Amino acid sequence: MYHIARQVTRRLGTMLAITGAALARPVDTVGALLAQERGRLFFWLPVVFASGIGLYFALPTEPGWPLAAVAVLLAMFAMWQFRGTTLAPVSLVFGLVALGLAAAVLRTLLVAAPVLPAEIGPSQLSGMVERVEVREGDTRLTIQPSGFAKLHATDLPHRVRVTVRTRGDTARPGDRIEVLANLLPPSPPVEPGAFDFQRHAFFRGIGGSGYALGPVRVIDPGSAAGQAVPRLRDHMAARIRTALDGAAGGVAVALLIGDRGGIPGSDTQALRDAGLAHLLAISGLHMGLVSGFLFWLIRFGLALRPAIALNWPIKKIAAVAALCGGLFYLVLTGASVPTIRAFIMVSLVMLAVLTDRRAISLRTVAIAALAVLLMTPEALTEPGFQMSFAAVTALVATYERFGERMLRRTRDTGPAGRALIYLAGVGVTTIIAGLATAPFAIFHFGRVADYGVIANLAAVPVTGFWVMPAGTLALIVMPLGLEGVPLWLMGEGIDLILRIAHGVAELEGAVRLVPAMPAVGLVTVTVGGLWLCLWSGGWRNLGWLAILLGMASPYVADGPLVRVTGDGRLTAVTAQDGGLLLSTLRREKFVAQQWLARVGTSEPGGRWPLDGASADGNLRCDLLGCILRRDGWMIALPVDERAVRDDCGRADVVIATVPVRGRCPSARVVVDFFDLWRDGPHTLHLSARSGPSVQSVNAHRGNRPWVRRPIPRSEHYWRQ
């Protein structure tokens, strides 16, 4: 065995040496360019590590830990083989990619949990309440189930979410409850390439969600010690709502506790349309304001006593206090990914204050990104992580390039000039952050707030100098029962922000809807933005080309011609003018909204012809189904088995919401009820070069742990 291993090692070393010789010349050329950027190479470490995570999520099948371990070992062997040579950086890149892949595999193994196999209920659900979210009109409970229907204990999800409309506020974190509920497994994406709700739920251990069919019954109040933090959050949220009612109370709870459920939908929409939705998401802005206010307050208070100010390092004491306050705020708000990133950066800033070093730099951002990705690799796929780090990276890169010049101008001006420079800084910051996050907003939400600069110029100073300081002060004095006045001041500031949001949102053209950006377009923009921000030489400007190409991708990519849900209850056809025709406006409303957003509109493009032809004449329907003609192709959409035989004899494509029995001699592509049931929503693309092609959600995602496969009815043991 020893001799075999030695031979394998030798041959592997020989192969690597040959490969290294072939790559030596181009690597030398690239190495000469990188030598000029040696001080900035560290910034690319989280990017390369993230590439390994991205590779993991792009794979069609689960690699498993053995393959990940082999990849890491091979990368380590290559790093050792090429140590001290010009290929050492290349081997380091492969090593970081392998480590990113391995981190994602390990994270998947750690969070893997059962998922409900299908819709179950009504059945009795028992378990412990983990979190209570009071929302407008209902309450959502996150429950760790101990029993549900006839599921075995090993088949129970780690968490389920239940919406309660009756007496939902009687349950508290830590309580053991019973409730009659109807639960469903997490939904698949609405179409291939759309947001993956099943993957999102998988990494949070949520195996089902649904609604209660009756009141919640508390069978054991539980121990407050085991749920100290959730109960503290609920207690503080209740006291805030007591002092502030309505929308102001909901926003205050969102800013101080991290629970946005109590904000009325109209106000949430106005904030989103005005480009102020980031004010509700606990991130760097809020963590910086809370920690910064605590830093200033402690330092100012200590400076009032000359004996302390002259003999104690009050700046460093204030930094430690601000760090402790930031940690408390992190725990209180639920420790979301943007908040963790913000706390890591605040920690590094305060550590720099303690060690008398530069506080804010791209190195700080890189360390924070590495830390977040190591703890939660799945964050790479989520809009919170993407938008948060895009904004911070762009702002820090701009500050490093132009910050010193701006600071010199600030020192030479009076109070009025500094105020103007501050407002100009808010405007520039908003523009930079808006441009940096716009591609991700387009990719995930298909919308851009055109007047966001105006809204942020007015609302951000109110948030920074009024709302968050008052809220932080309210948290400090809340143990003494003195939070009433600070919360009142905070509420007045929130009311002003909401008036700004509604005013801007009501302007004509406040929101621009954009067609869905393909994943390759987002990757292109991201690489271009990083290239522009992380390098310092002239070649950094090549990043603009990649950004422009990626931003153009939504307008040059061909979207689906036909969309069908997995249950066949909703079909959509793209009309000749680009609008979307929906087969029904009463069912699958959420899916319909998502489809409309992905084509860049909020309203259907015309009337679905129930018996007759569409406005462009390409779609004709009757009671048995529809026929779509486009570019010489005939697509049949039968909804009745009586139409299938006729369609199979003349159509080029058959997409049926009923079973297709037997052969379809004329059809190049056939999708029927069983295909929809097995592989989820389908889309049909029509290419002038290759003709029609069909893609399904499950085929697009591959064989991954979060992809739920349907179970035959004969195996539905929970209904027996």
Q: Which of 10-19, 288-297, 459-468, 564-573 has the lowest mean pLDDT?
A: 10-19
Q: Are residues 51 and 88 in the same domain?
A: yes
One-letter amino acid for residue 576 of the chain: Q
Q: What is d(CA 8, CA 353) in angstroms, rounded to the nearest whole number?
A: 52
Indicate the number of domains in the chain.
Answer: 5
Q: Are residues 59 and 195 in the same domain?
A: no
At 537, which helix (H) or strand (E)? none
User: Does any domain span residue 706?
Assistant: no
pLDDT score, position 438: 87
Domain that includes residue 160, residue range:
120-222
544-567: average pLDDT: 91
pLDDT score, position 607: 83
Residue 359 has pLDDT above 70, yes or no: no
Q: What is d(CA 116, CA 181) in angstroms, rounded to the nearest whole number?
A: 13
DSSP structure class, residue 711? -
The residue from 493, 512, 531 where one domain ends is 512
Sheet holding 571-574, edge to edge: 580-582, 571-574, 562-564, 682-687, 691-696
pLDDT score, position 408: 62
Residue 301 has pLDDT above 80, yes or no: yes
Residue 676 has pLDDT above 70, yes or no: yes
**To the nearest 10°, the Cα dihedral for 357, 363, 366, 370?**
-50
561-576: average pLDDT: 92
Mean pLDDT of the chain: 84
Angle at 195 between CA 49 and CA 440, to 5 degrees: 60
Q: What is d(CA 234, CA 132) in angstroms, rounded to the nearest whole number?
A: 8
pLDDT score, position 183: 94
Q: Are residues 567 and 552 in the same domain?
A: no
User: Does any domain span residue 228?
Assistant: no
Q: Which of 14-18, 264-268, 338-342, 351-355 has the lowest mean pLDDT?
A: 14-18
Q: Are residues 312 and 242 in the same domain?
A: yes
Of 199-208, 221-230, 298-307, the range with the highest mean pLDDT is 199-208
Q: What is d(CA 365, CA 348) in angstroms, rounded to the nearest whole number?
A: 9
391-418: average pLDDT: 72
Q: What is d(CA 163, CA 42) in angstroms, rounded to the nearest whole number?
A: 46
pLDDT score, position 225: 53
Q: Are residues 552 and 683 in the same domain?
A: no
Look at residues 637, 640, 669, 639 and name the one whose alpha carbon lies nearest to residue 652. Answer: 669
Q: Are residues 55 and 132 in the same domain?
A: no
Q: What percent of the chain has pLDDT over 70?
A: 88
Q: Are residues 428 and 552 in the same domain?
A: no
Give the distance from CA 397 to its chain's centroid. Answer: 23
Of 204-218, 338-352, 399-413, the range with the highest mean pLDDT is 204-218
Higher-pLDDT residue of 284 and 686 is 686
Q: What percent of the chain has pLDDT over 90?
A: 36
pLDDT tens-digit map of 111-166: 999 999 888 879 999 999 988 888 777 888 999 999 998 888 888 999 999 999 86
| Token code pair at residue 260 | 């946005």
Residue 696 has pLDDT above 90, yes or no: yes
At 559, the pLDDT band (50, 70, 90 cuts) reads: confident
Q: What is d(CA 489, CA 466) in angstroms, rounded to the nearest whole number?
A: 8
Higher-pLDDT residue of 709 and 20 is 709
pLDDT score, position 413: 66
Q: Where are any strands of DSSP class E within 277-344?
A: none
Q: What is d(CA 386, CA 523) in angstroms, rounded to the nearest whole number?
A: 11
Q: Are residues 504 and 605 in the same domain?
A: no
pLDDT score, position 407: 60
Is 212:164 a contact under the CB 8 Å cutoff?
A: yes
Q: Are residues 494 and 592 in the same domain?
A: no
Is 178:124 a contact under the CB 8 Å cutoff?
A: yes
Residue 595, C-beta contacts closer than 8 angstroms, at least 6 positions apart: 190, 191, 563, 572, 580, 582
Q: What is d(CA 155, CA 115) in angstroms, rounded to the nearest whole number?
A: 8
Q: What is d(CA 650, CA 664) in angstroms, rounded to the nearest whole number?
A: 9
Give, in order, the Cα–Cα distances in Å from 38 to each of 158, 397, 534: 47, 17, 12
pLDDT score, position 698: 93
pLDDT score, position 149: 85
pLDDT score, position 349: 80
Q: CATH number of the domain that 167 lies in?
A: 2.40.50
User: Does any domain span residue 261?
Assistant: yes
Write the DSSP assignment of 350-413 as a string of letters: HHHHHTT-----HHHHHHHHHHHHHH-GGGGGSHHHHHHHHHHHHHHHHHHHHHHHHHHHHHTS
Residue 716 has pLDDT above 50, yes or no: no
Q: How many CB atoms lie within 10 A of CB 32?
A: 10
Residue 503 has pLDDT above 70, yes or no: yes
User: Does any domain span residue 696?
Assistant: no
User: Does any domain span residue 718?
Assistant: no
Q: Are residues 583 and 661 in the same domain?
A: yes
pLDDT score, position 409: 60
DSSP structure class, residue 708? P
Exposure of 113 in the CB half-sphere (CA atoms within 13 A): 22
User: Does any domain span residue 28?
Assistant: yes
Look at residues 467, 501, 460, 495 and name the one whose alpha carbon lies nearest to residue 272. Answer: 501
pLDDT score, position 166: 66
Write the DSSP assignment of 151-188 as a string of letters: --GGGS-SEEEEEE-SSGGG--TT-EEEEEEEEEPPPP
pLDDT tens-digit map of 520-533: 999 999 999 999 99
Of 11-20, 163-172, 339-348, 618-627, the range with the highest mean pLDDT is 618-627
| Token code pair at residue 685 | 């693309």
Sheet holding 669-671, edge to edge: 612-613, 619-622, 625-630, 633-638, 653-655, 669-671
Residue 284 has pLDDT above 70, yes or no: no
Q: What is d(CA 564, CA 573) in angstroms, rounded to the nearest whole number?
A: 9
Strands 562-564 and 447-449: unpaired
Q: Are residues 425 and 465 in the same domain?
A: yes
Q: Are residues 634 and 508 in the same domain?
A: no
Q: How many CB atoms lie within 10 A of CB 79?
A: 17
Higher-pLDDT residue of 104 and 558 is 104
Residue 465 has pLDDT above 90, yes or no: no
At 305, the pLDDT band (50, 70, 90 cuts) reads: confident
| Token code pair at residue 81 | 């083989």
Residue 356 has pLDDT above 90, yes or no: no
User: Does any domain span residue 712?
Assistant: no
At 549, the pLDDT band (50, 70, 90 cuts) reads: very high
The residue from 75, 92, 111 where one domain ends is 111
pLDDT tens-digit map of 29-47: 566 666 666 778 889 999 9
pLDDT score, position 350: 84
Residue 628 has pLDDT above 90, yes or no: yes
At 720, the pLDDT band (50, 70, 90 cuts) reads: very low
Higher-pLDDT residue of 146 and 460 is 146
Is 262:252 a contact under the CB 8 Å cutoff?
A: no
The residue from 531, 556, 581 where one domain ends is 556
pLDDT score, position 419: 67
Give the distance from CA 536 to its chain's centroid. Answer: 30
The separation between the first and the last C-alpha atoms of the chain, rounded to the nearest angstrom, is: 54
Residue 714 has pLDDT above 70, yes or no: no
At 718, the pLDDT band (50, 70, 90 cuts) reads: very low
Residue 713 has pLDDT above 80, yes or no: no
Strands 159-164 and 206-212: parallel
At 469, which helix (H) or strand (E)? helix 468-477
Is the Cα torsion angle 77, 82, 84, 87 positive or negative in sign? negative
Higher-pLDDT residue of 428 and 297 is 297
Q: Enter the pTM of the model.
A: 0.84
At 16, the pLDDT band (50, 70, 90 cuts) reads: very low
Is 394:432 a contact under the CB 8 Å cutoff?
A: yes
Q: What is d(CA 82, CA 630) in angstroms, rounded to the nearest whole number?
A: 57
Q: What is d(CA 341, CA 377) in angstroms, rounded to the nearest whole number?
A: 13
User: Does any domain span residue 627?
Assistant: yes
pLDDT score, position 92: 84
616-645: average pLDDT: 91
3-state secondary structure of 628: strand
3-state secondary structure of 448: strand
Q: What is d(CA 293, CA 284) in angstroms, rounded to the nearest whole number?
A: 14
